Amino acid sequence: MNPSATTLQDVVIKFAGDSGDGMQLTGQQFTNNTALLGIDLATFPDFPAEIRAPIGTLPGVSGFQLHFSSDRVFTPGDIADVLVAMNAAALKVNLKSLKKGGKIIVNTDGFDAKNLRLANYPEGVNPLEDGSLEGYELIKIDVTKLTREALKDIPDLGTKERDRAKNMFVLGFVYWMYNRDLDNTIAFLKDKFGKKPAIFDSNVKVLQAGYNYGDTTETFSARYTVEKAKMPAGTYRSIMGNQALSMGLVAASEKSGLPIFLGTYPITPASDILHELSRLKHFGVRTFQAEDEIAGITAAIGASYGGSIGVTTTSGPGMALKTEAMGLAVMLEIPLVIINIQRGGPSTGLPTKTEQSDLLQAYYGRNGECPMPVIAAATPSDCFDAAFEAVQLAIQHMTPVILLSDGYIANGAEPWRFPQSADLPAIAVQFKTSLAEGEEKFMPYQRNEKLARPWALPGTPGLEHRIGGLEKQDITGNISYDPDNHQHMVKLREEKVNRIAQYIPD
């Protein structure tokens, strides 16, 4: 059967299961399929901190939420219309975020006695049978059994290998439900498993089996479609926040003519920026994975002192460790971009959960009077512009800049329109290369109208000067312990940051 599709304006769907059930991949593939149709969207991946969380338990649930619409989308949605639950724990964790009357698609194999016990259901209680889900439209599918049946003709696969493909069955069924084709996902599987034909064939078979199950089972009579969104003309792609940040940094590098140097230490949820920039080395990007947070930022400071765009990335706990070096960058007055992808705190806190609680840390979390401009990204695609602006401000005003994002933005995705190079402003870089006419000696803290000091690269003849964390004498840059000079320098550094507002368009 092939019922006609009902047109909806928007849908929020959440895929949930064990961290090994492939829910992130399933959500990403449905997202890519949606984006290629020109439908606006926003996503929210939600996964455990552990690499492989305990199977079947509440803390081990991994989820991926997608909001897609024919209208503009600004959030992944608060309440889901559809919940895909691969086991009892996934249902228990996510039922509260499903609207009344919403659809629940469950893998019945994930509701056996063991899974119910691990999900802390009372003995003898099964939510699929006790009437507690009467307010919802319950779609029960034995995904595990049907996946194994679809692969019965591939003898080389054991039960474990067959079960790994069950997320493809769910994806195929949801593609059928929302009137999609399978071509782009098959192309993805070909690219990923082209050299492993058995794995490629098994995933495609199960994907098609899920689609055909919806198409041939009379139990399901409803199909849906969402029209293309009206968006400005251009070339679009689906992009995550950390990807957009990385591309914004590279764009700023191209527009300034300076190489990017990333000095960092891996920390969730900022590590993807290191991964992404490492893939962009053909743009002159240099990445350095340091032994700790302090080494990461001080390496970036050294790169900036040497004439590169120094960048360091971290999250809340790492931000705390970087504070002394941030003060050094303020004292040196050199360009530096410090990116904090916020997560739940304090201390190690919630590594994979989001929180926007580091704003006051960004403003005031350093010893002494240590002002820095702070930029905050609003959406995943806005991360591109925020990163570009952070580099622009750092260079033009000779200051470290803090860029705030969070795990929700970093791992979320939305359509992003490729900017034209001509639409991005040039970033003027003015290295001081020699003494000016009539200048007898280099004055490293002499300032321009922005109160920015000269950027003189080490080794430039005649421009040798002292650096370090000790207070500098105004203009000369000599070490000074004079209280009046210190107060004067504090005011100058504060006013320099305040003046940045005059150069930001309304």
pLDDT of residue 398: 98
Of 422, 456, 475, at which residue does a domain stop? 422
Give Cβ neighbours of residue 108 (< 8 Å, ≥ 6 apart): 128, 140, 141, 142, 143
Q: Contact at 8 Å (CB) between 248 and 388?
A: yes
pLDDT at 159: 85
Whether residue 268 sits in one domain with residue 411: yes
Answer whether 238's CB lies under 8 Å from 416's CB: yes
Are 180 and 316 within one domain?
no
In this structure, the answer to whether residues 392 and 282 fall within a common structural domain is: yes
Query: Is 52 inside any structural domain?
Result: yes
> Of the ranges 125-129, 266-270, 419-423, which one carries the lowest mean pLDDT score?
419-423
For residues 150 and 275, state if they share a domain.
no
- pLDDT for 156 equals 78
Q: Could you say which DSSP state residue 4 is in?
A: P
Q: Do 50 and 100 belong together in one domain?
A: yes
Residue 452: inside a domain: no
As a whole number of angstroms, the distance between CA 45 and CA 413 comes to 9
For residue 96, tell me if it sits in a domain. Answer: yes
Q: Rounded to an integer, what distance in angstroms lies between the CA atom of residue 119 and that of residue 206?
A: 27
* Helix (H) / strand (E) containing 498: helix 483-499
Tokens of 331: 């004292």
3-state secondary structure 470-494: CCECCECCCECCCHHHHHHHHHHHH
8 Å CB contact between 171 and 184: no
Mean residue pLDDT across the chain? 95
Q: What CATH number does residue 67 fall under?
A: 3.40.920.10
Place of tokens 């992009």: 239
> Residue 1 pLDDT > 50, yes or no?
no
pLDDT at residue 370 greater than cutoff 90: yes
DSSP letter string, 418-478: PPPGGGSPP----EE-SPPTT--S--TB---TT-PPPEE-TT-TT-----SSSPBPTBT--
Region 25-33: what's the mean pLDDT?
A: 96
163 and 40: one domain?
yes
> What's the pLDDT score for residue 2?
53
Count of other CB atoms within 10 angstroms of residue 479: 11
Let me know whether 245 and 350 are in one domain.
yes
Is the model's pLDDT at 3 over the cut of 70?
Answer: no
Together in a domain, 220 and 241: no
Domain that holds residue 147: 5-226
Lowest mean pLDDT segment, chosen from 13-27, 41-55, 87-101, 115-129: 41-55
Residue 502: closest CA among 451, 445, 455: 451
Phi-psi category of 110—alpha, beta or left, where left has phi over 0 and alpha has psi -120 to 50?
A: alpha
The Cα 44–Cα 505 span in angstroms is 31
Are residues 248 and 168 part of one domain? no
Question: Domain containing 342 — which CATH number?
Answer: 3.40.50.970
Does 248 lie in the same domain as 355? yes
Q: Which of 263-267, 278-282, 414-418, 491-495 has the lowest mean pLDDT?
A: 414-418
Give the mean pLDDT of 31-37: 94
Take residue 32 and report the two structure tokens written for it: 């890519």
More confident position, 5 or 433: 433
Residue in the block written with tokens 């700023």 = 252
Q: What percent of the chain has pLDDT over 70?
A: 99
Q: For residue 25, is pLDDT > 80?
A: yes
Instruction: Tell me the pLDDT band of 34, cut-offs 50, 70 and 90.
Output: very high
- C-alpha–C-alpha distance, residues 18 and 87, integer Å: 8
Number of domains making up the chain: 2
Band (466; pLDDT cuts 50, 70, 90): confident
Residue 477 counted as domain residue? no
What would the mean pLDDT of 13-36 be, rounded to a whole number? 95
Statement to judge: residues 160 and 247 lie in one domain: no
Mean pLDDT of 424-448: 95
Residues forming a β-bridge with 38: none
How many Å from the N-terminal Cα to the C-terminal Cα in the chain?
Answer: 56
Q: Which residues pair with 65 in a beta bridge?
A: 14, 44
What angle, rounded to 10 degrees, do the helices at 183-193 and 23-36 form?
130
Question: Would 412 be classed as within a structural domain?
Answer: yes
Alpha-carbon gap, residue 211 to 304, rounded angstroms: 54
User: Which pTM value belongs to this model?
Assistant: 0.90
485 occurs within a structural domain: no
Coil, helix or strand at residue 364: helix
- pLDDT mean over 124-143: 96
94: in domain: yes
E strand or H helix that includes residue 29: helix 23-36
Peptide bond into 346 cis (omega under 30): yes
Q: State whether 200 and 245 are in the same domain.
A: no
